[in-house]
Amino acid sequence: MDGASPEAVIETRGLRRVFKARNRSVEAVAGVDLRVLRGEIFGFLGPNGAGKTTTLRMLSTLLPPTGGSARVAGCELATQHGRIRERIDYVGQAGGADREITGRTELVFQGRLYGMTTAAAHRRAIELIDMLELEGAADRKVSTYSGGQKRRLDIGLGLVHDPQLLFLDEPTTGLDPQSRLQLWERVAAYKAAGRTVLLTTHYMEEAERLCDRVAVVDHGRIIALGSPADLIAGLHAPHIIEFATDPAVDDGLLARIPGIGDRRQRDGRWLLAAGSLAEAVPALLDELDRGGAKLVSLSTHRATLEDVFLSLTGRELRDE
């Protein structure tokens, strides 16, 4: 991979990871080709068990690949682990803060581990405490922190040495909406400073709000890649009509409705991708009336990445 483009912070070819489990092989990552550009937030979107975390752990040198090759932050993954670790940081789902010391002490300690003088580590801790809005909690034990405060501290620990590339594994899982929004703002500010983020998520709103581009991952493979807007536009219909009837109707009836694209059944209800609600909903009601089917429920929403995943796999993101 000597010809890697300088603007690419991550490039992979055929990246694989196979685990041995109960005398059989499980392919967790099945040949990922990826290119992440400097200064973008790139998201791995998929259900639990799709291979997202395994990919991040390989790229951050925590887990050796079974096959394929990669360059990370300008270094070869196979031979330059030490140099990669100097240029990146990884914030896992569980975090790494010691619950029995204060957040400020933890930040200073992290700075010293990266070779900062004590004075420089204290200055960096002050900067991060201010940036992450942890002033009121910085001198308390981490065990007293709320979930949002602890997650912001985890991010701070990852930013102490100002890495070129930050890996975030499910950064907002378990957080309340306000804490999630605060963390999104911090990640966006980091990107605005010219840095690069690779994150995993199964939250469609998180991917749509934060990510410049998204790789939709399922069973260890990338099944779609592009900006959230482009992936949603690929449905060729901006609206989703979700309804149930009694008795159930078949696809033949729905095929007569104008402006309908993708049609899928899910748990006894239909999901229709529609170009125009004003055209499709009245036509749907007319067809149901003619077919003698009683409408039990009907709702509509703008198409999202959840609908993209459902269209590609026939399953919802949280099925697994």
Q: Per-residue pLDDT tens, the chain, 320 aa: give them.
A: 445 445 899 999 999 999 988 888 999 999 999 999 999 999 999 888 899 999 999 999 999 999 999 999 999 999 999 999 999 999 998 877 899 999 999 999 999 999 999 999 999 999 999 988 899 999 999 999 998 999 999 999 999 999 999 999 999 988 888 888 988 998 999 999 999 999 999 888 899 999 999 999 999 999 999 999 999 988 888 899 999 999 999 988 898 898 888 888 888 899 999 989 999 999 999 999 999 999 999 999 999 998 898 888 877 776 44
Residue type, 182: Q
Fold (topology level) of 236-302: Alpha-Beta Plaits (3.30.70)
pLDDT at 265: 86
pTM for this entry: 0.87
Q: In this structure, which amino acid lies at residue 20? A: K
Element (H, E) at 182: helix 177-192
**Structural domain boundaries in the chain:** 8-231, 236-302
CATH topology for 8-231?
Rossmann fold (3.40.50)
CA dist 181 and 172 (Å) reads 9
Q: Which residue has the tokens 């402006």?
A: 259
The answer to whether the beta carbons of residues 172 and 203 sit under 8 Å apart is yes
Supply the DSSP string of 35-69, one letter for each residue: EEETT-EEEEE--TTSSHHHHHHHHTTSS--SEEE
Token reading at 110: 């992290």
